[in-house]
Amino acid sequence: MSRFIADTSVWSLFLRRSSSLSSKHQNFLKEGILNGEVQMLGIIRQECLSGIKEPAQWRKLKGILQGFPDLPASSEDHIVASDYFNTCRRNGVQGGAADFLICAQAARSKLPILTLDKDFKHYSEVLPVTLLSI
């Protein structure tokens, strides 16, 4: 395996949802963590921590995620993300600013994205991003 970006959807499943069944994405992320292959992005950290109602739970998740240093987003990443937004829109693909920043950082760093979010499949048909298929 090599380095990859785990999208918010995968982190959410891994960190927040209690389930007696373990998914292949959870297992893949766990292996990636153990092997030091998971690259965190600041926008993914922000999305993971947003919407946590209980301060104690927010602090706990913040502490867990602090172990993963960010790949910093550059000004150019934000410019590329806006171009990706416009490119997708011209091609009938809708998406949010956070997703396009993830795509821009993934494309710049040549890292594949592990996601459960079906929107990324649509982005990958228009943008130069690679999705991990497990």
pTM for the predicted model, two decimal places:
0.93
* Amino acid identity at 16: R
Hey, what are 5's tokens?
């970006």
* Amino acid identity at 71: L
Q: pLDDT of 107-117, one tens digit each? A: 999 999 999 99
According to the CATH classification, is domain 4-124 in 1.20.120.530? Answer: no
* Amino acid identity at 45: R
Give the start-to-end residue ranges of the domains of the chain: 4-124
Eight-state DSSP code of residue 84: H
Hey, what are 100's tokens?
């396009």
**Measured distance CA(74)–CA(116) in Å, rounded:** 26
Sheet holding 113-114, edge to edge: 70-71, 38-41, 4-6, 113-114
Q: pLDDT of 1-44, one tens digit each? A: 699 999 999 999 888 665 554 688 889 999 999 999 999 999 99
